[in-house]
Each structure stands twice: as C-alpha cells, then as structure tokens.
C-alpha cells in the first residue's frame, strides 16, 4: 500500500472508532436529551477532527476540504476531500449502512481513496493506477451487458425536493428494465459496492463533492465508468452522477436522458 494511502486508512480507522463508540450510546443519549441531530453532529465533528489531525500531522502542506470544517487552504495542488460520516440518517436510526470517506486529489484528479464501513469492518481503498481493494481483495466491476438482470443503486433527492418529480420519472424509466433498485443511504458505499460488483450501476441527482470524491476512484480503479448526466466528467461540480460497468453506464445515461430537465443535463 502506498504510504500516503496508509495515512488515509489510519485516519479513516480512527474516525470509524469514534463513530462506533457513539453508535453504542445513541439510544441512551437520545432518550436523555432528545438532541439526536446535535448528537450526530458531535459524532461527525469528532470523527472529522480526528481525520484532519491525522492528515495535517503527516501532510501539513496539503489543503483540505471537509464537510463540517469547510476549506483549509494550503498547497493548492494537493487537496484532501473528507466526509467523516456518509449516511448520517442511517446512523441516527441505527441502520448499519454508513462510512467514512477520504480522498486525495492532485491537481483536481483523484489519486488515493478510502471508504471505510466501521460496522462491517470493510475497508475499500484505491490508488490511481494500482486497482481497488476491499480489505486485501482486488475488486472488479460486474460484466453484465445492458440493464436486464442488473441491481442498480440510487439516492432520493431529499435535500433538493425541487428535483423529486424529475427523479421519479428517471426512476420509472429505469425500474422496468432492471432486476432491482436499492436506496441504501450512503453514496460513498453505493460507489464502493459498485466497485466490488455488488451493484451493476448507480445514479443520483445533486450529491456533494465529499459524498463521491473517494467512491469515484474506487469505481474507476475497479474498471468502471463514472460521468455526469451528459456522460462527461463534470460530476464533482454538478453532483449529478451516473456510474457502472461500461455497458450499464451507457444504458443508464440513455434511459434517463429523455426525462432530465435542461439544468440537469450535465
């Protein structure tokens, strides 16, 4: 493992320990003060602080973009992008599908990525040109041709309700063509599962950069494709993401395109 990736893994594991520690106390704390959202924020913050500490110690010259702390500017060529807890709503409900997501970008290109599910002890990692791994095991996307018999991941636009109708029409278009659609609640893990061949494809509207910064490298290093809704590479900016093996990627794009409003066609 590349030494830089090793630091990211160490940081993700520290954050994972914090997440799991609080996870066992959620019910008690919620019953005691009913500030469940604050409590989760506390976890997000503590996990993110642990990650930043680790990264800053090893790479004081690197910039950081973190969901809770915002931007920490330094060398503009290297930027860490962090989501300390992706899947907060799941976490809050004890639904065990959430992860720590950490990526390093060099000149706006992903070079290292970690998505760590502390509950299942699954560590997804990738370095550019070196493949993607689940723990020690090398990952490949599925080989399915087209959409039939596929299992597709997605997310609902609950933070951007103005897109609900458009989203539902894309859902209606995909639904009859596939074997199943899953909304598991963590975009970082959705992309990691795609890299691992547990999903064949994925689409979602309006994600944040930290939801996907690591997952997209996992998918690419496992032989998959990621694009925005025009099939190009502006997904980190638009937050609109389609991903899959080559065939499924193309098929999802083609299927949803007629239903997209103008502002979503990129």
Question: Which parts of this chain interact with ligand IPD (CB under 6 A)?
Answer: 83, 86-88, 155, 159, 185-187, 207, 211
Residue 133 CA to residue 131 CA, distance in Å, equals: 7
Cβ at position 85, least distance to Ca ion in Å? 5
Nearer to ligand IPD, 9 or 66 (CB): 66
CB under 8 Å to 232, separation ≥6 — which residues? 266
Q: Is the CB of residue 187 less than 8 Å from the CB of residue 215?
A: yes
Residue 131 CA to residue 241 CA, distance in Å, equals: 21
Cβ at position 71, least distance to Ca ion in Å? 16
Residue 35 CA to residue 80 CA, distance in Å, equals: 30
Q: Which of 54, 83, 117, 200 binds Ca ion (CB under 5 A)?
A: 83
Q: Which of 48, 54, 86, 190 binds Ca ion (CB under 5 A)?
A: 86
Q: Which residues are registered as beta bridge partners of 114?
A: 102, 125
The CB-nearest residue to ligand IPD is 155
Choose among Ca ion, ligand IPD, none what residue 159 binds, the Cβ cut-off being 5 to 8 Å by kind.
ligand IPD
Within residues 176-215, the interface with Ca ion by CB under 5 A covers 211
Within residues 45-74, the interface with Ca ion by CB under 5 A covers 67
Nearer to ligand IPD, 74 or 168 (CB): 168
Exposure string of 114-141, with b = 16+ CB inside 10 Å and e = fewer, is bbbbbbeebbbbbbbeebbbbeeeebeb
Cβ at position 164, least distance to ligand IPD in Å? 13
Cβ at position 261, least distance to ligand IPD in Å? 18
Choose among Ca ion, ligand IPD, none what residue 111 binds, the Cβ cut-off being 5 to 8 Å by kind.
none
Q: Which residues are registered as beta bridge partners of 154?
A: 203
| Strand stretches in 34-127, DSSP E | 62-66, 70-72, 75-86, 99-106, 109-117, 122-127
Q: Is 172 helix (H, G, I), strand (E, B) or coil?
A: helix
Nearer to ligand IPD, 87 or 244 (CB): 87
């Amino acid at each position: 493992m590349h030494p830089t990736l090793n630091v990211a893994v160490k940081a993700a594991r520290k954050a994972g320990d914090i997440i799991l520690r609080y996870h066992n106390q959620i019910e008690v704390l919620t019953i005691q003060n009913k500030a469940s959202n604050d409590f989760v924020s506390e976890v997000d913050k503590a996990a993110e602080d642990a990650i930043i500490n680790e990264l800053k110690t090893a790479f004081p010259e690197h910039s950081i973009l973190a969901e809770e702390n915002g931007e920490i500017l330094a060398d503009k060529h290297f930027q860490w992008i962090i989501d300390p807890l992706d899947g907060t709503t799941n976490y809050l409900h004890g639904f065990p599908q959430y992860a720590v997501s950490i990526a390093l970008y060099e000149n706006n290109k992903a070079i290292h990525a970690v998505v760590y599910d502390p509950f299942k002890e699954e560590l997804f990692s990738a370095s550019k040109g070196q493949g993607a791994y689940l723990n020690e095991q090398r990952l490949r996307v599925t080989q399915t041709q087209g959409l039939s018999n596929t299992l597709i991941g997605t997310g609902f636009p609950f933070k951007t309700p103005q897109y609900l109708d458009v989203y539902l029409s894309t859902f209606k278009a995909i639904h009859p063509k596939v074997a199943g659609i899953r909304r598991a609640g963590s975009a970082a893990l959705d992309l990691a599962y795609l890299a691992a061949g547990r999903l064949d494809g994925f689409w979602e509207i309006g994600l944040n950069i930290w939801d996907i910064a690591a997952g997209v490298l996992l998918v690419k290093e496992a032989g998959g494709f990621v694009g925005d809704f025009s099939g190009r590479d502006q997904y980190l900016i638009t937050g609109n993401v389609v991903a899959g093996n080559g065939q499924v990627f193309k098929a999802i794009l083609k299927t949803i395109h007629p239903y997209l409003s103008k502002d979503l066609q990129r």
